């Protein structure tokens, strides 16, 4: 595996930390009832979004999921505006109308998170069709979970994409559970990469706890897809650290399993690896941690102090 | 009488019906180990096992589909669609299959299927987890649509829904699960299609259901102090609609306000109001008034969410206007 240079290593580490600290902060705000509603946290899965996004261009598209904070941050998201959105504030990236489940930033190529499991798979495929029709060289990364692969739209979209050779990477974040239901109790095959075989679509699985592995894998397939070879399917094996949502007591999984995955925590293993390889120093990683902590604190303050939307906003933005 | 939550009442209804009839089973996302997103099926899996309490993949269309097929062939399934916002994913199976099969097949089969789901606003969850889509379902002949507001009604109506030989959509409300109300220890059922007068009055009739029913009762209590005597009717079943109870009330009060949480245009009140025009016009002394949700997707922001649905103050204001 190719090792990153110092600048790239810094960037990858910093972005993973931004996501982790962001999510820890959201959890804190939820438990203090400062954030209302629900949030599905991305903690544990950082290497997937960060690795994937580091392999595509600014003008490439993504579609995200209900667990979308990490995707939004990694796709150049404005942390302050994302935090404000989750609190339903006027300064949020969607003016407080979308919330955690609907983070979107079209200016960054993020076509949106989604409250409906699987729904973005069709949208991603349509964006890929548009790229092809516009004769552009962009690609789309379509993120979704293991659970979403049991929705009809997954199969319908994959078939169309393969049939029409559309430039889309279907990237399944297999974190072993769809809410409380383990992937083994929800899907009839144990190797999810086989799901694209029916469409003659190439697939590969990757260690979703290893940011460099994800980066390399997505880079390879992005090149393939960009050249007009048609879509591909990547399964990134990963784990979410928090419960599905705030109220989840996690009775469906064991402490041992949680430990197994926490031992592979990308925000711990990656800096160790970089220090060992002489790419980053211990001081540098500590400094990055400090910087990001500070940044998240500032974003939190900004979000909390931001005003709510005015009542008139209820009726704006419905039609053009 | 003992008081239990709406959630517990539903849980008891499911448990009792599953004990009573071995053809009853439950299937849905996260209903087994997890006990349901809102805890309604808690402990049923422990009691009845995988065979009768099934965690399904995230496959709404197939969840309803398997319910229909099983219902046509001797079972009495209760399937759960976690949020009413996910009903659009299985609307084909509901509208084209469940609702029409008996009629299309000349009455030669039946579909004793209960679809439990949950809707409404109040938890700041945004546009995909806050809708009130009951009016879509009212538009489908062949279905029954039930929306209880109290623990008592929830239990009695769910039992009737499960025993009904027709497809019944049973819509719960996310903000009602923790609310307690009296429920007798002994067995009872409540017939589908019968409204309930929750408070008698003579000055104006409020027709409501689900959570807005509780808002209407609150408003009525406050208005009582101002000397305005409101009759509050809980529709309980939206399809078929209990026009007898509605008519009797309007004959007495001559004024009617419909309070609903769904978006106003093409909403439940549009249908109920028009039926009143057709059947009760002669008794009306004032135009029918609707208090309904704003015609927008539900915004996330808690401040916008609140003004997007009727509040108690809105009801009080409209009652004062219509009775002044
Ligand atoms: C159509 C639909 N069905 C059910 C849900 C409720 N729900 C939200 S997330 C989720 C689990 C999704 O699992 P997966 O796709 O594996 O993503 P993960 O949460 O593990 O990231 C469920 C069942 C939903 N939001 N949309
Ligand atoms: Mg998952």
What residues sit around ligand 2, an ion, with C-beta below 5 angstroms? A 145-147, 175, 178
Q: Spell out which residues line ligand 1, taking CB within 6 angstroms.
A: A 40, 66-67, 115-117, 144-148, 173, 175, 177-179; B 29, 58, 60, 82, 86, 89
Which residues, other chains included, contact A307 with Cβ-Cβ below 8 Å and sequence gap of 6+? A89, A90, A91
- Indicate if the pLDDT at residue A246 is higher than 90: no
Alpha-carbon span A132 to B322, nearest angstrom: 59
Verify whether residue B128 is a known catalytic residue: no
pLDDT tens, residue by residue, B88-109: 999 999 999 999 999 999 999 9
- Domains of chain A with bracketed CATH: 6-305 (3.40.50.970)
| Alpha carbons B139 and B137: distance in angstroms, whole number | 5
pLDDT score recorded for residue A1: 79
Query: In this predicted structure, what is the pLDDT of residue A247?
Result: 78
CA distance A56 to A64: 15
- Does the beta-carbon distance from A186 to B299 stay under 8 Å? no
Say if residue A38's pLDDT is above 90: no
The number of beta carbons lying within 10 Å of the beta carbon of residue B297 is: 18
Give residue B19's pLDDT: 98
Instruction: Say whether the ipTM exceeds 0.90.
Output: yes
- Between CA B284 and CA B248 the distance in angstroms is 12
The distance of A40 to chain B (nearest Cα, Å) reads 11
pLDDT for the residue numbered A151: 98
Tell me the sheet residues that pair with A232.
A169
As a whole number of angstroms, the distance between CA B283 and CA B254 comes to: 5
Q: How confident is the model at residue A171 (pLDDT cuts 50, 70, 90)?
A: very high
- CA A183 – ligand 2 centroid, Å: 7
A50 has a pLDDT exceeding 90: yes
Please give the pLDDT value at position A92.
98
CA of A250 to the centre of ligand 2 (A): 13
In chain B, the domains with their CATH numbers are 3-182 (3.40.50.970), 196-323 (3.40.50.920)
Residue matched to tokens 């996910």? B86
Pairing of strands A181-182, A177-178: antiparallel
CB of A118 closer than 8 Å to CB of A145: no
Check residue A245 and give its pLDDT: 81
Q: Which two tokens stand for residue B228?
A: 């305005």
Give CA–CA dist B154/B14, Å, rounded. 11
Q: How far apart are the C-alpha atoms of A52 and A117, rounded to whole Å?
A: 21
Contact, A142 vs A63, CB < 8 A?
Answer: yes
Quick check: helix, strand or coil at residue A236?
strand
Backbone angles phi, psi at A103, to 5 degrees: -60, 130
Under 8 Å between Cβ of B261 and B310:
yes
pLDDT under 50: residue ranges of chain B: none
């Amino acid at each position: 595996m190719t090792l990153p240079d110092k600048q790239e290593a810094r960037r990858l580490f910093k972005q993973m930390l931004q996501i982790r600290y962001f999510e820890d902060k959201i959890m804190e705000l939820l438990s203090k009832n400062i954030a209302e509603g629900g949030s599905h946290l991305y903690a544990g899965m950082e290497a997937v979004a960060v690795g994937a996004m580091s392999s595509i261009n600014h003008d490439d598209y993504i579609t995200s999921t209900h667990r979308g904070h990490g995707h939004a941050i990694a796709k150049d998201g404005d942390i302050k505006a994302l935090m404000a959105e989750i609190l339903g504030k006027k300064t949020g990236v969607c003016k407080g109308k979308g919330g955690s489940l609907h983070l979107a930033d079209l200016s960054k190529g993020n076509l949106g998170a989604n409250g409906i499991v699987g729904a973005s798979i069709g949208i991603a495929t349509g964006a890929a069709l548009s790229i092809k029709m516009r004769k552009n060289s962009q690609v789309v990364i379509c993120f979704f979970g293991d659970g979403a692969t049991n929705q009809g739209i997954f199969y319908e979209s994959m078939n169309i994409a393969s049939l029409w050779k559309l430039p889309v990477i279907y990237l399944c974040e297999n974190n072993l559970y769809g809410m409380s239901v383990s992937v083994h109790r929800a899907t009839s095959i144990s190797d999810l990469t086989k799901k694209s075989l029916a469409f003659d679509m190439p697939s590969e699985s990757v260690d979703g706890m290893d940011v460099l592995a994800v980066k390399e894998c997505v880079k390879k397939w992005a090149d393939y897809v960009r050249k007009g070879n048609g879509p591909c399917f990547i399964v990134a094996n990963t784990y979410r650290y928090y419960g599905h949502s705030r109220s989840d007591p996690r009775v469906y999984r064991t402490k041992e399993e949680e430990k197994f995955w926490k031992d592979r925590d990308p925000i711990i293993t990656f800096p160790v690896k970089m220090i060992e390889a002489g790419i980053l120093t211990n001081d540098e990683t500590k400094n990055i941690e400090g910087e990001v902590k500070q940044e998240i604190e500032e974003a939190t303050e900004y979000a909390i102090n931001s005003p709510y939307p005015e009542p008139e906003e209820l009726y704006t933005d419905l039609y053009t | 009488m003992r008081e239990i939550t709406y959630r517990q009442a539903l849980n008891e209804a499911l448990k009792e019906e599953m004990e009573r009839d071995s053809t009853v089973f439950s299937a849905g996302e996260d209903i087994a180990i997890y006990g349901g997103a809102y805890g309604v099926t808690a402990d049923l899996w422990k009691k009845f096992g995988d065979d009768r309490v099934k965690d399904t993949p995230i496959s709404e269309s197939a969840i309803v589909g398997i319910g229909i097929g099983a219902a046509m062939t001797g079972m009495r399934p209760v399937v759960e669609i976690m949020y009413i916002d996910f009903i659009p994913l299985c609307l084909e199976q509901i509208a084209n299959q469940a609702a029409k099969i008996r009629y299309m097949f000349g009455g030669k089969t039946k579909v004793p299927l209960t679809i439990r789901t949950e809707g409404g606003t109040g938890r700041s969850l945004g546009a995909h987890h806050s809708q009130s889509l009951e009016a879509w379902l009212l538009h489908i002949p062949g279905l029954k649509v039930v929306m209880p507001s109290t623990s008592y009604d929830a239990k009695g109506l769910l039992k009737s829904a499960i025993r009904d030989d027709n497809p019944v959509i049973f819509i719960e409300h996310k903000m009602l699960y923790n609310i307690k109300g009296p429920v007798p220890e002994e067995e009872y059922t409540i017939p589908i299609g019968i409204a309930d007068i929750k408070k008698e009055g003579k000055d104006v009739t409020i027709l409501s259901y689900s959570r807005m029913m509780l808002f209407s009762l609150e408003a009525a209590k406050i208005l009582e102090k101002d000397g305005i005597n409101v009759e509050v009717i809980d529709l309980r079943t939206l399809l078929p609609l209990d026009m007898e109870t509605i008519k009797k009330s309007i004959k007495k009060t001559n004024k009617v306000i419909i309070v609903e949480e769904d978006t106003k245009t093409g909403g439940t009140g549009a249908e109920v109001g028009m039926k009143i025009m057709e059947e009760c016009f002669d008794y009306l002394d004032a135009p029918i008034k609707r208090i309904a949700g704003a015609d927008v997707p539900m915004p996330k922001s808690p401040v916008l969410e609140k003004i997007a649905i009727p509040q108690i103050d809105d009801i009080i204001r409209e009652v004062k206007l219509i009775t002044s």
